[in-house]
Chain A
Amino acid sequence: MKHEPGRLPPRRLDSAQGPVPSAPSRLLMDPLLGPIVAACVVALASALLVVLAQGAIRAVVALLAHSLSIAALYALLAAGLVAVGQLLIYSGAIVVVFLFVVALLPPGGRELHSQPRRVVTGIAVGAALLAALYTGLGPTISAQAQLLAGPAGSAVPSGLGSVAGIGHELFDADKLLVPFELTAPLLLVAIIGSVALWRRQGTP
């Protein structure tokens, strides 16, 4: 666990006092809590809209709102470069590709209504996943409480999320160089695959 040097002495004092949380540091209002909660609410509401919307265009616009709120969350979590990437790749490219596909759909191709069996299955799967995540994450949260309890506004290590730091992670041969280079052939294969799908469709 990494600590900023300046914050180490008060933490030691806290742990020496036992599990009782130190009141001043806990009651300190996190300046970013309000914006983070707002972005979370927008992300959840737009995700629900994506799942429940009947028209395809409405779902795409809800997906756009979702990706924008996720980008805001990244920016609030000191991940500026990932926020910019989310804006460019998700809101800029992927959502626009979805819009193109919805516009290209033949007009007769309406979605059938979901059968009750499918609705029940979907809700059951969602509830089971949520329960599994809760039981799985609960011990982790209590074990890492000190790590997670820090207010988001303060104690950001300087330089976290900088282009230089992320570039160091991506291009270091001991870290993420191989996965990063593998994304290039992945994109190439994806492009060739989609073109091949469409050509075969055109000449049956």
Chain B
Amino acid sequence: MTANIVVLATSAILFSTGATGVMLRRNPVAMLMCIEIMLNAGNLVLVLGSRARGNDAGQAIALIVLVIAAAEAVVGLGLALVLFHRREPVDVDEPRAVQG
């Protein structure tokens, strides 16, 4: 049981924890936080691979994923705010129509 295996197992458990949270929660803000956990788990594997192979490419991709996570959080939180201002008890299953 070496440190790399521990990190790999941690990221697998983190990813499934995040997926469980996305299924479990009805609050859009909480769902976004669970998606951030899943993104972190993926990033952790990228950095671990970069460390195990001695190659910088994984860390560079991890930085790009960080930027993508920021963009996703901005759009998702904007959607969540609009949803919260529309109706009082918020449920992500409630809105069914998207208007362009």
Contact = CB atoms under 8 A, between A and B. Distances in A.
Q: Do A and B come from one complex?
A: yes
Given A36-B7, A106-B84, A187 B67 contact: yes
A198 B81 contact: yes
B84 to A, nearest CB: 5
A25 B100 CA distance: 62
Interface string A93-119: 110011001101110111110100011
A43 B12 CA distance: 12
A99 to B, nearest CB: 10
B51 A77 contact: yes
A123 B7 CA distance: 22
A125 B20 contact: yes
A85 to B, nearest CB: 5
B27 A175 contact: no
A129 B15 contact: yes
Q: How large is the interface on A (under 10, 10 to 19, 20 to 34, 35 or more residues)?
A: 35 or more
Contact of A186 (B37, B53, B68, B84): B68
Contacts of A197: 75, 78-79, 82
B53 to A, nearest CB: 7
A87 to B, nearest CB: 11
Contact of A81 (B8, B37, B59): B59
Interface in B2-54: 2-8, 10, 12-27, 29-30, 32-34, 36-37, 40, 43-44, 47-48, 50-54
16 contacts: A43-B10, A44-B13, A70-B44, A77-B47, A79-B62, A85-B66, A90-B40, A105-B81, A109-B88, A111-B26, A126-B16, A176-B64, A180-B60, A180-B64, A186-B71, A193-B75
Report, nearest first, the 3 A-B pairs whose CB atoms are least far apart: A126-B20, A194-B78, A122-B23
Given A44-B17, A90-B69, 17 more contacts: A40-B10, A47-B14, A51-B17, A51-B18, A60-B33, A73-B44, A77-B7, A85-B66, A90-B36, A109-B90, A112-B89, A121-B23, A134-B12, A166-B59, A169-B59, A183-B67, A197-B78
